Chains A and B, each alone.
Chain A
Amino acid sequence: MFRPIADLAASGALSFTFDGRPMTARAGDTVAAALLVNGITACRETPVSDTPRAPYCLMGVCFDCLVVIDGIGNRQGCLVPLAEGMRIETQHGRRHLTEASE
C-alpha cells in the first residue's frame, strides 16, 4: 500500500513478524507505518461485524490501527515505535470474541 520514497536518510533495519510472517522496516517507523510499507492491507477486524480495517488517520484519533503487540491487544499501532523482534498480530473481531465462550 505504501512505499519508501527514493531519497531517504540511511537508517538501520528492524526485523519483526506480522501474524508470524517475518518482515523488516526502517528503525524510526511506527508499527502502523511498518505494516503499510510491508503491503499489509488490513491490521484488524471490527468487533461488530468482523470487517477488515486498516490505519485511517495515523495520528492517534481513529483507533483503526489497533493491533496485538507482543501479546498485548488493542494497541494503537500509529503511536508505538517499531522495535527489533516485535511480534505483531491482527486484532481479531467478533468471531474471536464469541468463540472464547465455548
Chain B
Amino acid sequence: MSGNGRNADVIVIGGGIHGCSTAMHCALRGLSVILIEKDHAGRHASGVNAGGVRQLARHVAEIPLSNASMALWHNIAELVDDDCGFTSDGQVLVAEDEADLEGCRARVADLTLRGFHHEELIDAKELRAIVPAVSETCPGGVISRRDGAAIPLRATQAFKRKAESLGATIREGVRVTKVEKDGSNWRVVTDAGAFLAPRIVNAAGAWADRIAADLGEPVPLGVIAPMLMITAPLPAFIKPVVILRGRKLSFKQFDNGTVLIGGGHLGTPLRDENVTLLDWRKLAISAGTVWDLFPIMRGAPVVRAWAGIEARMPDDLPVFGKSAMHEGVYHQFGFSAHGFQLGPGAGAVMAEIIAAGRSNVPIDGLDIARFTKTH
C-alpha cells in the first residue's frame, strides 16, 4: 500500500499505544501509513505503565475521548485480535477521611450535572464489601465499574501487529531527525533516509516537543518518570484497582497474585540515554502508604521496580488535534501519565479527523493552540 515504503498518505511518528492505534485506525480507513519508532513499539511509557484502564477521576475535558476509548477496550479482542490482557473489575478511589469523602461527593455531583454517570459514590459499607482488605478508617469513595487494567506492552504491540496486518509499514529502530515542508508533502528525515506524506501525526510521547519545535510550534513539555513496583505473588485479597484521593497511590492485584504499586512518585528521566533512575526514598513513601492501608501487604517482597519516560504538560492534559499552524500536521502527545486508557479511542478519533476533517467526539480544550497562541 505504501508504494516504495517511503511515501504514504500518513506518517505517524512514535510507536507508543497512541501512534500504533492511530496507525491502525488510519489503515482501517484505507489510508496508507508509515509508522516510525526510534526504539521498538511500546519501549517507553506505553509499554511500562501501570496498565490502568481508568475513567475514574479524569479531567472533564478528557471524558468524551475516554468514553470513546472505553467502548473499544470492552471489545478489544475483536478490534486487534488479542485480548491485551484486559480485565474489568472496576477502579475504586478510596477516601481516607471525611474531608476526602466530601471532595468525592462534590466531584460526582459535578459530573452528574455535566451528564456523566460513570462515577458512583460508595459508602464505607460498600467500600469494605468491594475492598475488604482496606483499612477500617476509610469512610467511602468513588467507583467506576467499567474500569479495569490491561498489559501495556502486549496491548501496544497488538495495535502495532494489527496495523501491520492491515498494510501499514512499521519502521522500528528508526529515529526522526527533522521534519520539513516539501511542496504539498511533509518530509520526515530519519537516520534511515527520508519519508514523504501529505499528513503527519506527532505521537512521539516524551520526545514530541522536539518534533513540535521543528514545526515551529514549541510546547512546554515536561519529561517525567513515574515509578512503579511489583511484589511476589500474595494471597488474593483485592479485585478492583484502588487509587487514593489524598496521597499518591495506585494499587492493583493481578490474577497471579502479584501486586502492582504505583501512584506517581517520580524518578529521574534521562531521555537522551533512554534511561530512568529510581528514587528509593520516594518508593519507600509508597511502601509506607501501602503499609498504612493494607496490613496484609507488610511482608510482601518487592521483586521489581521501574519507571517509564513520559511527557507531562503543565495542565496535565494532552495535546490532541490539528496543528495550529500547518495543514496536514496533527498532534497526539502529552498524555501526562494517564494516556494508556485513551489510546484505542484517541487513535480512532484521530483517524477520523485525518480522514474526514472532523470528529463528533468533542476534544475542546486539548488543542495545541492553548500553548502556542498568544492572546
Chain A residues proximal to chain B, CB less than 8 Å: 47-48, 72-74, 96-101
Partner of B299, one of A48, A73, A99, A100: A73
Query: What is the CB-to-nearest-CB distance from A36 to chain B, in angstroms, rounded to a whole number?
Result: 23
A82 → chain B, closest Cβ, in Å?
Answer: 20
Is there an interface contact between A96 and B301, defined as CB atoms closer than 8 Å?
no
Given contacts A47-B256, A74-B301, are A97 and B236 in contact (CB under 8 A)? yes
B233 touches A97 (CB 8 A): yes
Assess the A72–B236 pair: CB atoms within 8 A.
no
Closest A residue to B299 using CB positions? A72
Contacts of A101 in B (CB 8 A): 235-237
**Chain A residues within an 8 Å CB radius of B300:** 74
Are the CB atoms of B256 and A99 closer together than 8 Å? no
Nearest CB in chain B: distance from A40 CB, A: 22
A73-B299, A74-B232 given as contacts; is B256 within 8 A of A100 (CB)?
Answer: no
- Main secondary structure, interface of A, reads mixed
The answer on a CB contact under 8 Å between B235 and A96 is yes
Q: Add 5 more A-B contacts to A47-B257, A97-B256 (CB < 8 A).
A: A48-B256, A97-B234, A97-B235, A98-B236, A100-B237
Interface of B (DSSP majority class)? loop
A100 close to B232 (CB less than 8 A)? no
Of all A-B residue pairs in the complex, the 10 with the closest CB atoms, nearest first, are A100-B235, A101-B236, A47-B233, A97-B257, A74-B301, A97-B235, A72-B299, A74-B232, A97-B233, A100-B236
Closest Cβ of chain B to A28, distance in Å, is 26
On B, residues with C-beta under 8 Å from A are: 232-237, 256-257, 299-301
- Chain A nearest CB from B98 CB (Å) reads 30
**A74→B232 CA distance, assembly (Å):** 8
How far does the Cβ of A101 sit from chain B's closest Cβ, in whole Å? 4
State the Cβ distance, A31 to closest chain B Cβ, in Å. 16
A55 to B321, CA, bound (A): 57
Across the interface, which residues of A come within 8 angstroms of B256, CB to CB? 47-48, 97
Cβ distance B219 to chain A, nearest Cβ, rounded Å: 45
Most chain B CB neighbours (cut-off 10 Å) among A96, A98, A101: A101
Nearest-neighbor residue (CB-CB) of A71 within chain B: B299
Q: Which B residues are CB-close (under 8 A) to A96?
A: 235
**A97 vs B235: C-alpha distance in the bound complex, in angstroms?**
4
| Residues of chain A lying within 8 A (CB to CB) of residue B236 | 97-98, 100-101
CA distance A47 to B255 in the complex (A): 11
Inter-chain CA distance A72–B235, complex, in Å, is: 14
23 contacts between A and B (CB under 8 A): A47-B232, A47-B233, A47-B256, A47-B257, A48-B256, A72-B299, A73-B299, A74-B232, A74-B299, A74-B300, A96-B235, A97-B233, A97-B234, A97-B235, A97-B256, A97-B257, A98-B235, A98-B236, A99-B235, A100-B235, A100-B236, A101-B236, A101-B237
